[in-house]
Amino acid sequence: MQAAILTCAVKPAHLSTIADLDAVMAERRETRLRQEAEELAIRQASRRAAKAAHTSHILSVPRMVGLMRAGVLLGSAKALAEALGIQPRSLRAKTDSDRGVSCEDLIAAADALDARAALMIEHAAKLRAEVTPQIPQASPNEATA
């Protein structure tokens, strides 16, 4: 009697036989397994990408020192972080050897230094243009005397 009650409770009304129920349940199971596999692949890919961002680049003291020096030349670590397109916290992780310094980081820092140097050269030229000669022009009469 109890087996009949369980069978009636489990089997939906629109399915006529147990074979239909088994087919629907197998299809649902396959769909769920496929979805779980896709979600797992996405999680693993994002985990790999996050791990790669932290460890894939070279941990090199000259690279870290070069970034620190670039920050000094640019005026602040915040300016360097903006030039690299990262947060200051991420820059600290790179200079503290928690994360590696990539070639792209070095190129971005060099480009920022080039831009800063161009501004300095332009300003130096403006300052030179403002300088007037302090030596008065000698008159012809003073030169013969």
Please count the structural domains in the chain: 2
CATH code, domain carrying 84: 1.10.260
What are 120-133's pLDDT values in tens digits? 999 999 998 888 66
Q: How far apart are CA 3 and CA 18, in angstroms?
A: 14
Q: Are residues 71 and 106 in the same domain?
A: yes
Dihedrals phi, psi of 39, to nearest 5 degrees: -65, -40
User: What are the structure tokens assigned to 31, written together?
Assistant: 């769909």
What are 31-59's pLDDT values in tens digits? 999 999 998 888 887 776 665 555 556 67
Per the domain annotation, does 2 fall within a domain? no
Q: Are residues 65 and 40 in the same domain?
A: no
pTM to 2 decimal places? 0.52
Q: At residue 11, does pLDDT exceed 60?
A: no
Q: How far apart are CA 138 and CA 142, in angstroms?
A: 7
Average pLDDT, the chain: 80
Q: How far apart are CA 61 and CA 111, in angstroms?
A: 21
Per the domain annotation, does 3 fall within a domain? no
User: What are the structure tokens assigned to 71, written together?
Assistant: 């920050």
